[in-house]
Homo-oligomer: A and B are copies of this chain.
Amino acid sequence: MTSDSKRFDVVGIGNAIVDVLVQAEEAFLDDHGLHKGTMALVDESQAERLYASVGPGLETSGGSAANTLAGIAQLGGRAAFIGRVRDDQLGAIFSHDIRSVGATYTTPPAGSGPSTARCLILVTPDAQRTMCTYLGASVNLDPADLDLDLVAQAKVLYLEGYLWDSDEAKQAFLAAAEVARRHGGQVALSLSDAFCVDRHRQSFQELVDGHVDLLFANEMEITSLYEANSFEDAAEQVRGRCRVAALTRSEAGSLVLSGDQSIAIAPFRLGNLVDTTGAGDLYAAGFLHGYTRGDSLERCGQLGSLCAGEVVTQLGPRPQASLPELVKRNLG
């Protein structure tokens, strides 16, 4: 795509979250009724109780869309993030981290109300992550907070499906999609999580049909969206409903659909699998970085695959390695 008069390649809206990464055994998930690989919402007291029962953590900035926008900035793209923290210590960490990679982040922190959102991420020995999110201050994002000037300046507006769990955020999201479209931008959506899709299936289906140009989903999410019997079935159902659908399948790589095209993208295996946190977010980062530079869909998928392949070799959802060097080394 072109439209180089735009100030930003990608502007993202999402929950502004600090992650707490903790090693956990499978039995812990069972004992606490948690489903491996998914995200559950918890209130503050549940979050405190759960935290009290786990081992030591590593804290790092997270949030699905925020991870994607940070990745795009690290790749050299012009990225901005919209999402709300509280004016507390975790909020300061979140704000520092996303700005320090070069992303624009201007949402004012809340001066009162719930604390900055936290996500307890349980990493099991198989490197899978299971998440419990306390949304805190991030649900206070309402249309009045939204910097629509930023949104109007985006080639692509990127939205995370998790926002659907807050009515205010959902309204902000739809208003932003409208503005982006009106200014010639495209709208991208990540389905975020299979349970999230389950909670908002019809709403997501309408959104994909009516508002979305680029859809990101993993195998569980896309099959949940269409209550399909197989990945292939789900892929055929989504085909043609949006301009591009990028469907990720973990170690099986990804499939990019556009019009009649089906492009299979191989996965990158760059080292031992340590923690899958951020894999989908970084796939979207690589893909959107290529997309907004006008790369072929195949290369967009390869960039996504590469960034995802890197982030799963480390703890946490923000790559510690240099992404531009990674691209140069692996994709020339």
**Chain A residues near B (Cβ < 8 Å):** 23, 51-52, 54-61, 70, 88-90, 93, 96-98, 100-101, 115, 315-316, 318, 320
Contacts and interface: CB of A to CB of B under 8 A. Distances in A.
Contacts of A96: 51-52, 56-57
Contact of A55 (B55, B90, B100): B100
Interface of A is mostly: mixed
Given A89-B89, A89-B90, A97 B57 contact: yes
A23 to B, nearest CB: 6
Contacts of A97: 56-57
Given A89-B88, A89-B90, A100 B59 contact: no
A93 B57 contact: yes
Report how many copies the assembly holds. 2
A267 B51 CA distance: 36
A60 B61 contact: no
Contacts of A90: 89
Contact of A58 (B54, B58, B100): B58
Contacts of A320: 23, 58, 315
Of A100, A316, A318, which is in contact with the most chain B CB atoms at under 10 Å from its CB?
A100
Contact of A61 (B23, B56, B89, B98): B56
Nearest to A51: B96
10 contacts: A23-B320, A52-B96, A54-B100, A56-B98, A56-B100, A58-B58, A58-B316, A59-B60, A88-B88, A89-B90
Nearest to A60: B58
A89 B58 CA distance: 14
Nearest to A102: B55
Contacts of A70: 56
A52 B59 CA distance: 18
Contacts of A115: 89
B318 A101 contact: no
Contacts of A57: 60, 93, 96-97
Given A56-B96, A89-B115, 14 more contacts: A23-B320, A55-B101, A56-B70, A56-B97, A56-B100, A56-B101, A56-B318, A57-B60, A58-B60, A58-B315, A58-B320, A59-B59, A89-B90, A315-B320
